[in-house]
Structure 1
Amino acid sequence: MTIHAYPVLSAATVREKLLARNEIALIDVREEDPYAQEHPLWASNFPLSRLELQAWRRIPRRDTTIVVYGEDELEDLAPRAAQILSGLGYTRVFILEGGLEGWRAAGGEIFRDVNVPSKSFGEWVEHHKDTPSLSAEEVKKRLESDTDTIVLDARRFDEYQTMNIPGSISVPGAELVLRARALAPNPSTPIIVNCAGRTRSIIGTQSLVNAGLPNPIAALRNGTIGWTLAGYELETGANRKFPDNIDRQALELAQADARRVADAAGVRHITIDSLPQLQEKGRTTYLIDVRTPEEYKNGHLAGFINVPGGQLVQETDHTAPVRGARIVLADLDGVRANMSASWLAQMGWETFVIEPADPEDFTVKGETSNPAPEPGKTQEISASQLQEILNADENENYLIFDFTTSVNYLKRHIPGARFALRSHIGRLVAAQPADKKFIFTCGSSQLARFAANDAQAHTSSPIFVLNGGTQAWIDAGLPLEHGPSHLASPAIDRYRRPYEGTDAPASAMQAYLDWEFGLVEQLNRDGTHFFNVL
């Protein structure tokens, strides 16, 4: 059975592959918000709008089994996505039979939110390990009565700066075992670990417990959400970070602890010379440097991308969407890779750590590259030419479509530009009068070029791409608009997390917590997780 010349796989077959632990990438090509509303546990979000920009990095092996689904409000996006993936060189592309409804009809479990494998794993860990935690009221009382108590925020630094527990210190998840002894050298000093919700609080706390730190350790139950629901104020704009220097004794203790935990979890250790043999034909192998972006930029192993360990454990579905793949981690301290690997192994991943890590091998400079195909030739105009058009009498003959993220569009955009999703471009241009001319932009113009090539199939009108994108307009000092002034597409490319920012309704925060509490029961019903905690 085929759909638009692409073979289909049934929900039952996909489930069989997950249970057999075969390599498979189940991808949802809708935008992030509809994806977050409902999807299978192991479905990863690959919005059709940005598929070419993500596929090669996130699914590195071209003969990976890829199963696609995704119906938006007007069409089934899966055939278009399958065509793009085939054009990118993927040779085993299937469409999920019946799409999401087919999965549901076959009895497949449906999950909400984003990063669900990691979040459900966090709940699984707390359920099985009884991870120690304290309520916001208890933590507040301790902070007021015990000046030795420290609060370590396990999120990314930018999240910490948005809002944090007053007085807390930013120590992203993978840094905790490496840095905690320096921050709390007295073994009687209580350590509280928090995030915005639950997952990174639980994993961070259990990391310190597993590593055997002697301090009293507990998670702030429900994170900044719990703090806010208790009626307490959060701090904003803080810049307290972990110290860079670690004394030799503390480092050696952390190394021994991390290696012990990794060994117990079944993590294997390999030399850099044996890596080519591990990357055998027919297996996907993700190579990940789990240090900070600054360390990675200053020198890393060839072929390794950068995902700090705490975020890797938090966002496995984004970084490693091929379930059943191998994951190889690297650092230069013997702590962060081992601790991160211990969690991945407990989540069911075949996990390795490079050991020993020789600084002389970390020679590649710069940030993680993002391989993507060339979008094809387009007609271009400069920012000054666009300004002349907007100032001319015939400016009403032109329509500007902006394909940046809705978050960026709301912050700033060219006056009159309409926010558009690339996946909607066919219907958007086809709906316009024949005499209209189009100008496409985005932050850099990369996505706008892909959109321009898509649009040519739906209109005979001229289409121009702003050279350098909206950033070129900004660099020229030209005027900007702000806010949702012209939304040609709904802003569904971004799911608003109930735990981000400081203005989420209390009801949404509580609903999110209630959802997390129910994840263990959902995992039991789904049965494809292979979680196995120490």
Structure 2
Amino acid sequence: MTKNLLQLTISDFPHRSFLQVREVLLAGCEIALLDVREEDPHAQSHPLFAANLPYGRIELDAYTKLPRRDVAIVVLDGGEGLALAAASRLRQLGYSDVSLLDGGVDGWRAAGGELFRDVNVPSKAFGELVESVRHTPSLSAQEVQALIDAGDNIVILDARRYDEYQTMSIPGSVSVPGAELALRARELAPDINTRIIVNCAGRTRSIIGTQSLINAGVPNPIAALRNGTIGWTLAQQKLEHGQSRSYPPTSEANHQQAAQDARALADRAGVTRLQGTALKALYADVTRTTYFFDVRSPAEFDAGRLPHFRSAPGGQLVQETEQFAPVRGARIVLADNDGVRANLTAHWLRQMNHEVYVVDGLQAADFTITTAWIAELPPQPQVAEIDVTTLSTWLADASEEVAVLDFTSGVNYQKRHIPGAWFALRSELPAVLAMLPKGVQRYVLTCGSSLLARYAAADLGILTDLPIHVLNGGTSAWAEAGLPVESGATRLASPLIDRYRRPYEGTDNRAEAMQAYLDWEFGLVDQLGRDGTHGFHVI
């Protein structure tokens, strides 16, 4: 008789040791090393190529991030028991080669494995390696401020996402997200004597952006803003907020030059090229994991896309590679409509030891699909639903008998939630129930749309005999009905650990935390050397 998935134990799954995982990484074979803890504990300590796939979101993300059901998966945690729960769920979702990492994080350390802090570590470590090998030029915050004050012939290009730029920016800077830099730089600095300064929040995107322009042959003097907005803040210099400056359209002459330079770079890095028949063959090949990424801007993707491709703006793809493509050793196929952004992105990914392809010759007219991209999801559990009117009545009549559990992100919960709702993490459900007051007679589950709440309801049903309902349309439906919402961390049944607070985001970071972050980045090259599994090479 087949064992019920809920009854699976550690002995029901094979185990892989640190040495076995290391051997696969060094061989370049496909492996997904998944840390299924929440993002904050993941950021405190994890192996270099451990991608964060929190247990609480596993149904929402698995089919997109792990497209091949027989890919080798190794699951780890920090001793919380989430690895077993996640492995069981992955098997339920159809994944056939799931194993547990011997000893989890502690086992990795005990076996001599290197552990890393923070998020997107492979990309950040690669950026530091690029700077150490290529001696990427940079200017301090004080030097850049002096250039601004003197009215020098400079242009400052912010390589972060547009929303990050709007939050805070260097005075006078222009938003040019990473993959756009080589396509737009000549337009923004037509005088070759104009000094181009590239910044981000910390170091990585400044380094990669600056080196992209240098590699692409842009003739201007180019430098990174050393340590980005962190360095600017530590120098006690003023940032702007709420700016909207962005790049202009690119002239045909500048486009052609950028495309020629980007293609030459990709060829030099060893990027493979594809056209129609070969691309279709990759679509059909189920023996390998293949990711298909459209590296244009999100707005362009929304206006028209290719089949099979999903949005991954090139700068962020280089910055967050293990999150977009957690299967190490997989194939990555990139597309754009200009011959610049895909080639520039590909030349970096190839240096990060990824097998990379660029689809050649695409034009704007090829991006014909205008319907929204929708992630593939497993079947949703059958749940009892209520509408916002019913919940409003229940809360008005006997609020003490109703526990509203909100499974949205901690950030979104603090922005708005149903009055009296508890913030809850699916990975912490037993602790959540212990936090709730006595007298609860029923549970109502919600999140932004109630999609995640539906999956959480199945887990909750194992722990309680009380009635469980899911709010139809979630908190969004509640707000759209004009019902009141509240903000702040008012009721936390779980700690706010689902997101790691980056020391370089927001405007209220402590100087000590920002400096510690920079010190950590400076040490990444040495950590790469001790780890020895990366295969990075810098051209």
TM over 0.5: yes
Pick aligned residue for 1:505 from 481, 494, 510: 510
Alpha-carbon shift at residue 397 of structure 1 (Å): 1.2
Deviates more, 1:424-433 or 1:496-505: 424-433
Structure 2: distance between partners of 1:128 and 1:225:
23
Alpha-carbon shift at residue 6 of structure 1 (Å): 1.0
Alpha-carbon shift at residue 347 of structure 1 (Å): 0.4
* SS class of match (1:185): coil
The letter for the 2-side match of 1:13 is: Q
CA contact (8 A) 2:504 2:514 kept: yes
Structure 2: distance between partners of 1:300 and 1:416:
42
Pick aligned residue for 2:131 from 102, 126, 129: 126
In structure 1, the partner of 2:497 is: 492
CA contact (8 A) 1:171 1:241 kept: yes
In structure 1, the partner of 2:288 is: 283
Structure 2: distance between partners of 1:459 and 1:435:
11
Deviations 1:185-230 (A, max 9, x none): 0000000000000000000000000011110000000000000101
Equivalent positions of 1:275-314 (< 5 A) are 275-279=279-283, 280-314=285-319
CA contact (8 A) 1:341 1:351 kept: yes
Pick aligned residue for 1:421 from 400, 406, 425: 425
Structure 2: distance between partners of 1:170 and 1:71:
39
Pick aligned residue for 1:157 from 162, 185, 189: 162
Deviations 1:340-385 (A, max 9, x none): 0000000000111001114443211134321111321111111111
Deviations 1:141-177 (A, max 9, x none): 1111134201000000000000000000000000000
In structure 1, the partner of 2:198 is: 193
Structure 2: distance between partners of 1:366 and 1:219:
39
Alpha-carbon shift at residue 115 of structure 1 (Å): 0.3
Structure 2: distance between partners of 1:434 and 1:462:
13
Structure 2: distance between partners of 1:298 and 1:505:
40
Alpha-carbon shift at residue 71 of structure 1 (Å): 3.2
The letter for the 2-side match of 1:98 is: G
Structure 1: distance between partners of 2:66 and 2:392:
40
Alpha-carbon shift at residue 427 of structure 1 (Å): 4.1
Give the 3 Å change call, closer, same or farther, for CA 434–477 of structure 1 in structure 2. closer
The letter for the 1-side match of 2:470 is: V
In structure 1, the partner of 2:408 is: 404
Moved over 4 A (4+): 430-435
CA contact (8 A) 2:431 2:494 kept: no
The letter for the 1-side match of 2:163 is: D
Alpha-carbon shift at residue 483 of structure 1 (Å): 0.8
The letter for the 1-side match of 2:370 is: K
In structure 2, the partner of 1:78 is: 83
CA contact (8 A) 1:4 1:79 kept: no
Q: Is 2:457 the counterpart of 1:452?
A: yes
In structure 1, the partner of 2:41 is: 34
Structure 2: distance between partners of 1:310 and 1:181:
18
Deviations 1:15-74 (A, max 9, x none): 0000001100000000000000000000000000101100000010001000001136xx
Equivalent positions of 1:70-219 (< 5 A) are 70-71=77-78, 75-219=80-224
Q: Is 2:12 the counterpart of 1:8?
A: no
In structure 1, the partner of 2:483 is: 478
Structure 1: distance between partners of 2:257 and 2:469:
60
CA contact (8 A) 2:200 2:206 kept: yes
In structure 2, the partner of 1:17 is: 24
* SS class of match (1:374): coil
Q: Is 2:336 the counterpart of 1:331?
A: yes
Alpha-carbon shift at residue 418 of structure 1 (Å): 0.5
Alpha-carbon shift at residue 249 of structure 1 (Å): 1.1
CA contact (8 A) 1:418 1:488 kept: yes
The letter for the 2-side match of 1:28 is: D
* SS class of match (1:399): strand
Structure 2: distance between partners of 1:430 and 1:189:
62
Alpha-carbon shift at residue 431 of structure 1 (Å): 6.8
CA contact (8 A) 2:192 2:219 kept: yes
The letter for the 2-side match of 1:34 is: P
Pick aligned residue for 1:231 from 233, 236, 249: 236
CA contact (8 A) 1:296 1:367 kept: no
Q: Is 2:269 the counterpart of 1:262?
A: no
- Kindly tell me the number of residue pairs found equivalent between the two proteins: 529
Structure 2: distance between partners of 1:259 and 1:230:
39
Identity over aligned pairs, percent: 58
The letter for the 1-side match of 2:489 is: P
Deviations 1:112-133 (A, max 9, x none): 0000000000000000000000
Alpha-carbon shift at residue 517 of structure 1 (Å): 0.0
* SS class of match (1:67): strand
Structure 2: distance between partners of 1:479 and 1:4:
49
Structure 1 unmatched ranges of 5 or more = none
Q: Is 2:73 the counterpart of 1:43?
A: no
CA contact (8 A) 2:259 2:340 kept: yes
TM-score (norm 1): 0.97
Q: Is 2:278 the counterpart of 1:274?
A: yes
CA contact (8 A) 1:152 1:168 kept: yes
Q: Is 2:254 the counterpart of 1:247?
A: no
Structure 2: distance between partners of 1:379 and 1:181:
58
CA contact (8 A) 1:430 1:459 kept: no
Deviations 1:456-504 (A, max 9, x none): 1111100111111011110011111211110000000010000001100
* SS class of match (1:27): strand
In structure 1, the partner of 2:5 is: none
CA contact (8 A) 2:418 2:484 kept: yes
RMSD, aligned α-carbons: 1.3
Give the 3 Å change call, closer, same or farther, for CA 435–485 of structure 1 in structure 2. closer
* SS class of match (1:224): helix
TM-score (norm 2): 0.96
* SS class of match (1:456): helix
Deviations 1:222-249 (A, max 9, x none): 0000001011010000000001x21111
CA contact (8 A) 2:68 2:286 kept: no
The letter for the 2-side match of 1:320 is: A
Alpha-carbon shift at residue 13 of structure 1 (Å): 0.2
The letter for the 2-side match of 1:498 is: P
Alpha-carbon shift at residue 301 of structure 1 (Å): 1.2
The letter for the 2-side match of 1:239 is: S
Deviations 1:305-342 (A, max 9, x none): 01100000000010010000010100000000000000
Structure 2: distance between partners of 1:494 and 1:377:
29
Structure 1: distance between partners of 2:206 and 2:22:
31
